[in-house]
Each structure stands twice: as structure tokens, then as C-alpha cells.
Structure 1
Amino acid sequence: MEAVAGIGLLETAFVWKERHYFVQTLDIMKKILVPIDFSEHSEYALQVASKIAKQHGAGIILLHMIGISDSVLANSEIAEEAEAKYFLKLAKEKIKEFTKREYLKEVPVEAIIQNYKDFEEVNNVAREQHCDLVVMGSHGTSGFSELFVGSNTEKVVRSSELPVIVIKGEHEDFKIAKMVLACDLGKESIPVYTKAKAFADLFSASLEVVYVNTAGANFMGYDDVEKRMESFKKALGQEVKVNFYNHHSVERGILNYCAEQGADLLVIPTHGRKGLAHFVVGSLAENVSNHAKMPVMTIKL
């Protein structure tokens, strides 16, 4: 197997031999998958992943997708091979440069280069490599409800069976002491809470739940609020801290609550195929002018 600057480089296609599920109790983190496109945003994600890896003695898997076009693949075998080798060489050189970063010292790193064009393949790699977490950068700047929509990050979030932490900016002093899970307190939110709690325990962080109560058709009175909260706790089988936050917009309410509480990580459930436009509570309100600059962890329902 060819090596790049002391980093194992896997270039073969993967065969899905067994299913790898995220267990409800996460006692140790072994591998973190970081998809990279060599942009500054993917480096922000790699920096955060390195901090998490050092904290928990985990390794990092770098995944770069070359995405050679169909027109290249349609050429003769000789031309195809030459073109593939060219792009592979460029990718290796860039990966070498990335892995020389000071913050990656003492972190076990492997690099995987694949000719994938569909970012949903990231989930396959994560499962094949038995990763526990995906950390990925995002260029999203158009508001919370459109944070990932139409981007490669959205495709990863939509298809990933593992929790994904999305990083939008540089975090020199990254730490997770307080996590907030925004959900609708329905039965589907129970496994999401369990997974979020496993990560909170691993990070030695607190975890609280917030339900944003909006005006209009989705508004709930005090009695309904109490019933929903008690049903959630009963289904969960344990006492949890649940907060209700009144706001005219679900998205604004979530972001305002996190800012007021000084949350380090926002956790939101996703519906997979429906994308992030359908997460959390009921129907979405107007687009948010504020941007979610804080790290966001998504967990698939």
C-alpha cells in the first residue's frame, strides 16, 4: 500500500461487508471522519476534529473525493489512466500539505482518496472504516434554515447514519461544555436524545432540551406543554431538563436560546431524505437573518 508522508493512503473501492451502527452508549471514540476539499472551511473542520481526537485518543480519517468527470471516463483507457494519475498526484500533494499542520501532531491520521462525485458516499466510507463521528466544514451563510441546503454538507448530513458536527468558522479554543438539543419532544426524538447524551457524557458536557413554542397553529398552552414534557420524560425513562422557549420563529428561537444559555454545541435531528428544511418542530417560519456560527451536530431520526 502506498504511503503519503507517513500516512496510509487507501485508493481502492470499498465493499460494504457489514453494517456499523452507532450504539447508544459511547464509552470511547476511536475514529473521526473528516471530508476535505482543501478549502479553508474543511481546514476549520480538521482543526476541530484534531482537538476532539487529542481529547479522546482518537484517530482521524481524511476523505478527499476527486470526482473525475464522465467525459474523462469516456476517453480511451490510456487517456483515462493518465488523467486519473494526474488528479491523484495533485490530491496526494495537497494532503501532504494538510497533514503537516502543527495541530495534527500526535494524532494518528489516514487519508482516503476516492473518485466519488456523490457526497452520500461519505456514509459508506464512515461505516466501512467504523467511524464514530463525522466532522465537516460548511460554507453556509444564508440563514439557519438554508445552512446546508444545496451544498455538499447538506448531502452528507442527509445521508449520514452517524452524528455529524458541522463547523462554519475557525474555533481556536474549541471546547464542548454545554450542549443544547432542539427537538419537538416526540417519540422520534428519544433515540436522538440518547445519542446526544452519549456524546455529552463523552465530552463531560451538560445536555439540556429546548422546545420552541411558536405563535399560531403550533402554539401550545401551559397544560399541553406540561403533558408533552411529561410524555417525553416517561418515554425516555429518566428525568431530563426540558425548557420551553416562546418565539415567533422556530429557527430564531433556537439560536436565541443557545446564545442566551451560552451553548457550545447545538444538536438538531434530521429526517434524512427530507433534508434540514423539515427538522425539529412543526412547520418552519420565515428565513432567519441571523447565522448559526456555533458548531451544529446533526443526528438522523
Structure 2
Amino acid sequence: MKKILVPVDFSEPSAYALEVAAKIAELQKAEIVVLHMLGLSEAVLTKDETQEYEEAKYYMELARKRFKSFLNKPYLKDIKIKQIVQNYKIFKELNKVAQEQHIDLIVMGSHGTSGISEIFVGSNTEKVVRTSDVPVLVVKEQNQDFQIKKILFACDFTDDTILAFKNVIAFAAAFSAKLKLVYINTPYDRFLSTTEIEERISKFFYKAGDAQQEVVIHNDYNVEQGLMNYSKKGNFDVLAMPTRGKKPFLHFLLGSRSIGEDVVNHANLPVLTFKI
């Protein structure tokens, strides 16, 4: 891992993401690319030598000055930092930046307040997760002791998740982290018998060309509740999972958006996504 991209809006969540990215960069000897998106209209930028043009220049310079204080952190002292201020307006443009800068991982903060559903639904984070061709690590809260020693990979073991599985294996290897796989079995639309689950998992590893690994089958009332309950039980550092691009993320993850408030308030584990 050589380059990590951190989208920055100078908020607390983006500061949390930057701190986590710094810890990863330190471990991997990687460079951090920080990006601030202005989102100014094209009309403002194209009126050369006008008051509007000067205003655009002002906001560009202001963002660069804000970087100076925002990046003045002890944990960034020995890390190479590259600053980018651009007039990107839509978050799918982050994927273009990631490709141009040869980014290996995007780390970004979430303004969501509760649960995996709040991390992704209707948020800029969801837009990045759906469009990014590189893995995205979503950070919800400050984690000064962040480490990657235990990764939980949640999967439905369908053929289209094989690439995500291979990517998470490589990611875990880069950190010498232990990887555990879990299938969440629910009593409703996702229910499978033990035999059906075992057959699906066996076929998955055969097609993946990988020796079959241990998979935990966890039964719960819905997928999110199962993930939260099992991840807390295992004391994992990161919850990893595949995402299906333009399809709604929660359709894959949950199957339903009706989730008890007592469950979603505890979804504070960093979430690592791999687009499939």
C-alpha cells in the first residue's frame, strides 16, 4: 500500500478519518493525499476577470489556508502529505482522483450518528462507496488506538463476491491481520438451511480457487443486527464487506431498512468496503 486518499471537509469526522489514515500510513510507509472539494458552480469559475472569478479564487485560497491548521497534527509529523484542492462537485469524481493519483485505499469519515444504515443511506459516504473502484474505509468516531489485527469479512458467498474475498485476503495479509468470515442467516427472506449454506460456501471456495476456510454461521433477526452482535463478540478492529456498485448498498446488506434503534446506535466499528 503506497497511497491513501482522505477526503476532507474540515469537520470532526474527516479529522477522525485523517488520524486513522495516519496510523495506516505509518504502518505501510505510505503517502496520504488529502482532498478538499469546493463544489463551486461552473458559472463562477468561467467568468474570468470578474468579481465571481475573484470570489472563486478566494475560496480556493481559503481552503489551502485551512489545510495548514487542519494538518498541523503530531501524528502527521513523519508522514508524507499531498494536498489537493479542486472544484469537484459530485462524490463519484473521487474515483477519478483515486485513479489519477494511484490510490490504494480511501479513508473517509461519516456524519452518520447510528448504525451501518446511517453510515450509508443518503450520505456522501454512500456515493463514494458505490462508485469507488478502490477499497473504502469508513470511520465514524475518533479511534486513537486504531489497529488492524482482526478483520471480520461479512459475505453471502455468491459468485460475484469472489473478487472482494480475494481483495480482503490481500488486505489482511498486508497488515498481518487475522481474517474471519461470517454468514448471517436470518429467519425471513435470507434463510438457508445448514445444508444449503454449507453447499454454497463449499462451491464458493472451489470457484475462488482457495482452500476452504472456516466460516461462522451466525443466526439473527436481520443482517445488521447479526453483524453488530457478532462483531462485538469477537472484538474485531474492522468489519469488511462487498458492495454491489450502483445497486443500493442496504439491499445487499440488510434487505430491509426497518431496524431497531437499540441496535443501530452501536454500529461504530470501522467499515471496509470492496466494490464488486
Q: Does 1:239 align with 2:212?
A: yes
Between the aligned partners of 2:96 and 2:119, the Cα distance in structure 1 is 23
1:89 deviates by: 1.4
Partner amino acid, structure 1, of 2:73: R
Partner of 2:171, secondary structure, is: helix
1:73 deviates by: 4.4
1:84–1:247 distance in 2 versus 1, CA, 3 Å: same
Q: Given the two structures, how large is their TM-score scaled by the length of structure 1?
A: 0.86
Query: For residues 8-47 of structure 1, what are the structure 2 equivalents within 5 Å?
Result: 29-47=1-19
% same residue: 47
Aligned residues of 2:37 and 2:89 also touching (Cα < 8 A) = yes
Between the aligned partners of 1:76 and 1:93, the Cα distance in structure 2 is 23
Name 2:137's counterpart in structure 1. Answer: 165
Name 2:96's counterpart in structure 1. Answer: 124
Q: Given the two structures, how large is their TM-score scaled by the length of structure 2?
A: 0.94
Number of aligned residues: 272
Partner of 2:82, secondary structure, is: strand
1:92–1:212 distance in 2 versus 1, CA, 3 Å: same
Greater shift in the superposed pair: 35-44 or 236-245:
236-245
Name 1:147's counterpart in structure 2. Answer: 119
Structure 1 spans left out of the alignment, 5+ residues? 1-28
- The counterpart of 2:109, out of the listed 137, 157, 160, is 137
- The counterpart of 1:273, out of the listed 241, 246, 252, is 246
Between the aligned partners of 1:284 and 1:188, the Cα distance in structure 2 is 21
- The counterpart of 1:65, out of the listed 37, 55, 64, is 37
Partner amino acid, structure 1, of 2:176: S
Q: Does 1:293 align with 2:265?
A: no
Partner of 1:188, secondary structure, is: helix
Name 1:22's counterpart in structure 2. Answer: none
Instruction: Let me know the Cα RMSD of the aligned residues.
Output: 1.6
Partner of 1:201, secondary structure, is: helix
Name 2:54's counterpart in structure 1. Answer: 82
1:280 deviates by: 3.9
Q: Does 1:259 align with 2:241?
A: no
Between the aligned partners of 1:288 and 1:37, the Cα distance in structure 2 is 31
Higher helix fraction: Structure 1 or Structure 2?
A: 2
- The counterpart of 2:21, out of the listed 19, 28, 49, is 49
Greater shift in the superposed pair: 53-62 or 236-245:
236-245
Between the aligned partners of 1:295 and 1:229, the Cα distance in structure 2 is 26
Q: Does 1:108 align with 2:80?
A: yes
Between the aligned partners of 1:82 and 1:179, the Cα distance in structure 2 is 48
Structure 2 spans left out of the alignment, 5+ residues? none
Partner of 2:246, secondary structure, is: helix
**Structure 1 segments of 4 or more deviating over 3 A?**
69-77
The superposition leaves residues 28-65 of structure 1 with CA deviations (integer Å, 9 ceiling, x where unpaired) of x1100000000011000000000100111000000001
Aligned residues of 2:137 and 2:273 also touching (Cα < 8 A) = yes
Partner of 2:256, secondary structure, is: coil
Between the aligned partners of 2:67 and 2:165, the Cα distance in structure 1 is 36
1:75 deviates by: 5.4
Greater shift in the superposed pair: 223-232 or 252-261:
223-232
Aligned residues of 1:249 and 1:285 also touching (Cα < 8 A) = no
- The counterpart of 1:216, out of the listed 188, 207, 216, is 188
- The counterpart of 2:156, out of the listed 178, 184, 207, is 184
1:148 deviates by: 1.6
Between the aligned partners of 1:69 and 1:204, the Cα distance in structure 2 is 45
The superposition leaves residues 14-37 of structure 1 with CA deviations (integer Å, 9 ceiling, x where unpaired) of xxxxxxxxxxxxxxx110000000
Name 1:12's counterpart in structure 2. Answer: none
